[in-house]
Structures are given as structure tokens and as C-alpha cells.
A = this chain, B = another copy of it.
Amino acid sequence: MNNRLRVLRAERAWSQQDLADRLEVSRQSVNAIETGRYDPSLPLAFKIADLFELAIEDIFTNPAKEPE
């Protein structure tokens, strides 16, 4: 499960802490998601999509899918 979180965050010049505050999660959670250590829960994914005003599919992509 890849994601464009780091890019979206950079576009807004937010630190991981800034984003964590807006999402009401810890900085470590943001970091873990960005570095791909784990995927967010569905509720958190919704919160992220909401914050960036994008669809979940526009932020997260399933590498196991989309053949080529």
C-alpha cells in the first residue's frame, strides 16, 4: 500500500508534527505511514482524505492490484 502523504505534506510545507496535530495522531504514526511501515486504519485514512480534500484512492494505492 503506497501513499502520497509525504508529497501532499511537502506541498503544504507541513512538518510531520504539523500533520500529526491536524490528524490528531502521534508524529510517529505519521512517520510510520509515510515510511511505509504500516497502513493507516480506515477511519484514519478517511481523516487524511478529508484533510487534503481528496479521495482515499487519490492518496493510497494498492500495489497488489492494477496489473499494468
Which chain B residues lie closer than 8 Å to A60 at the CB level? 42, 46
Task: Please tell me if A7 contacts chain B, counting CB pairs below 8 Å.
Answer: no
Interface size on A, residues (CB 8 A): 17
The interface of chain A, by Cβ under 8 A from chain B, is: 1, 39-43, 45-47, 49-50, 55-57, 60, 62, 65
A-B pairs with beta carbons under 8 Å apart, 23 shown = A1-B43, A39-B41, A39-B42, A39-B43, A40-B42, A41-B41, A41-B42, A42-B42, A42-B56, A42-B60, A43-B62, A45-B45, A45-B56, A46-B60, A46-B62, A46-B65, A49-B57, A50-B62, A55-B55, A55-B56, A55-B57, A56-B56, A56-B57
